[in-house]
Structure 1
Amino acid sequence: MVLLLALGPFLLPEYRNPEGGRVDLASSLLSLAAVLAVIYGLKEVAKHGLQPVPSAAILAGVLVGYVFIRRQRTLEHPLLDVRLFANRAFSASLSTLLLTVMFLMGVQFVVAQFLQSVLELSPLRAGLWLLPAVLSGMVAALAASAIMGKVRPAYVFGAGMVLAAVGFAVLWGVSASSGPGLVMFASVLMFAGLAPVSALGIDMIVGAAPPDQAGPAAAISETSNEFGGALGIAVIGSIGTAVYRGQMDQDYPDGVPAGAEDTLASALEAAARLPDQAGETLATAAREAFARGLQVNSFVAAPLMLLMALAVSFLLRQIKPAAAEEEAAAEPAPGAETSSAAPGLQEEPAKS
């Protein structure tokens, strides 16, 4: 990071919109309020069901988001130029980035807990088991960047999502007795499939916007990236929590032991305070319930990833490879004079 900060000002070109306005603080507060209210509501619904307070929070977040959008339409210099969403390539790329990051970050959040709390690996060992997945994502992103010069982005993204769907399907077989190898293999497939979509999706978003809107487009893509991660942890984590609680209620129909009803961590703490046999039974049941939540999340993610692959392949099918775009930009306009005509077809200059 220090090297990047030192070399960035010299190596990275900068563009400033001469007509850019000041940041609208009210719009920033509205967007923040909308996001926090929705995520809070989703998390509370997972913990306590569809209660009045979390339901009202979700509804309030949606209404505040609507007010935010209406405000952007009236400002001379909006925080978010909603006209950008009229561009299909921009909207499709942004939606793809949001959902990709949502599933990848959400599932990996649960996977990290699975390795440490269910398989009882230390944080260092869990990180080392996930390191091949990160490396596969880096290699795949570099390879996809080279391939996109000759292949349409829609097909590159679609193939990556199909590969990620296979990774999610592999997680269907996970259980509390599974070793870390199965989780690592599934993570390698997921990262290899979705890392290129996440990395190159930002280029697609910025490239689809007009030059004078490059700054807002880049900001929207980064916000979408962060919001997708937060939303993924909230949604995927909430599904896992709901499945965990349902499984624990099924295993303990007479009542879950005190302190074990909410999370795996609380169950393991409660198990440590019980006699040996009872504590071991509770810990085993809690680990299996958590693994069941991971299974359900991956069971939901795999078919959705296939649907996203089809949608992206359709919506972005008209975007040409980078090499074809460059060739088209280099071609002269019809009827324009050119000196590149074939030999013998050029007119000779008039002789005086």
Structure 2
Amino acid sequence: MDEIRKIIHIDMDAFFASVEQKDNPELKGKPIAVGGDGNRGVVAAASYEARKYGVRSAMASKIAKKRCPHLIFVKVRHERYKEVSNQIMNIFHEFTDLVEPLSIDEAFLDVSENKKNILSATLIAKEIKNRIKEVTGLTASAGISVNKFLAKIASDYRKPDGIFVIPPKDVEEFIAELSVDKFFGVGKVTANKMHQLGIFKGKDLKERTLIDLNRLFGKNGTYYYQIVRGIDNRPVNPKRIRKSVGTEHTFENDLLELEEIRKDVQKSAKDLCKRLEKSKFKGRTLTLKLKYSNFEQETRSKTLLREIKGFEDIMQIADDLLNQGELKTSIRLLGLSVSNRINESEPLQLTINF
């Protein structure tokens, strides 16, 4: 019988907003939003006080202000958040080297074997939370279970500043009663499709055969078949590879003219060059993201047989993508990203995708 793994998912509570409240005590207990407060501003993060009014991340700032008229906006400070994030990641490594960051404010930890020889994953999670509070003054929530899928779900159950454990003996019953909306990897569109098929909870999903799920959901069908049975053998990977580097810009006023749009593409290309250089990322695919004034979104991509390198290279490809088809209406957001990472130990694949 395989040894039962002990996986912890740590998720910082309202991270950006909590950092701002910690650094500025006057903001403590008040509804704040990190982001721009202009007409085209977007909420990057909201404090729990703001969330009570329905303010959420990725929400347009003008909608957030309508929901919470006394909302306080704070400018984003990426360098500060990165500094605090590094402190938190260092704390994780006090307990185990099997740490897989998912983002700046969350990570998986495999503590099946740990540096402090603590047998209980729950005790480890409590110690980590205490260390985070001691070092940063911030709170975190922890989910604990036998695999990454369940640990990720568990960390949302006692937010903020909580711990939730799904022990091996409870896994089957827990998943059976879990709403498919809560399944990590099931988005809103897929959840709606499942509802239309009479699939509302894990027990409904488990009734479907593997063939049925693959027919209904394509390649994701196998994933749904496994996770509803508590099967997730993905290891905690401390060497998780970055898949893309990008930049995007929301405009104060919609861009109407192609020349106007091209000027912003140039600015985005320069910013992208800096980010590629800083991250040492090398990729073959350039993607142009366009969001129109009606909020419809379009992406256009081109893949080369070689590395996309330098401003001129990016601009030439971006121009090709801009001219690939007519723009449907005025542009409210534009983004550029490089993906399809080059593994220097492997030969280039002889494929081109448009």
> So what's the TM-score if we normalise by structure 1?
0.26
- Greater helix fraction, Structure 1 or Structure 2: 1
Give the strand-richer structure, 1 or 2. 2
Say which structure, 1 or 2, has more relative contact order (CA 8 Å, 6+ apart). 1
Answer with 1 or 2: which has the greater Rg.
Answer: 1
With structure 2 as the length reference, what TM-score do the two structures score? Answer: 0.26
